[in-house]
Amino acid sequence: MKVLPKEINNNYEGQKIALYLFYFFTLMTVVRSLIHMFASDGGAQTIATIPLDTFTNEGASTVILIFSLWGLSQLIMGIFYVIVSWKYKSLIPLMYLFIFVEYLMRLILGVLKPIETSGTAPGAMINFIFPPLVIILFLLSLNSKKSENLKNVY
């Protein structure tokens, strides 16, 4: 299994746990996107604990729109993950690299451009946990059981 396979197909040769957790990331991405798009506050206050009620109406509306647009971007990635899960599983290692970059950059940007919140958003903790977890899953998605079996035979 390679990050950029010569042939893109539905053959997944990595460890099953990486496949099943990719399904979890896919579902989580789609659900999260829909919340950001359709929640009345875009999830900004109810989930991310951004104190929108202290903003002007215009300021709060701007933040809500940005969260909704972010949800749209997440939905596009989520749909791409669904397509990979359904028809092109050979791309799962590449998708893990995309997930890694997303969560690593969330962490970095959160440090570089902090925002005022009234609590700790669930995403703030996930941003610390997911990068190392995703690297492990990436490596497991590359690790072919067939090659392990061949090593055990010889």
Query: Cα–Cα distance between 65 and 78 in angstroms, integer?
Result: 19
Does some domain include residue 27? Answer: yes
Residue 38 lies in domain:
16-149
Does some domain include residue 7? Answer: no
Percentages helix, strand, coil for the chain (3-state, rounded to 5) are 70, 0, 30
Q: How many domains does the chain have?
A: 1
Per residue in 19-57, pLDDT (tens digit) is 999 999 999 999 999 999 999 999 999 999 999 999 999
User: Quick one: 144 exposed, middle or buried, by C-beta within 10 A (0-12, 13-18, 19+)?
Assistant: middle
Question: What's the length of the chain?
Answer: 154
Share the mean pLDDT of the chain: 91
pLDDT class of 119 with cuts at 50, 70, 90 = confident
Amino acid sitting at position 22: F
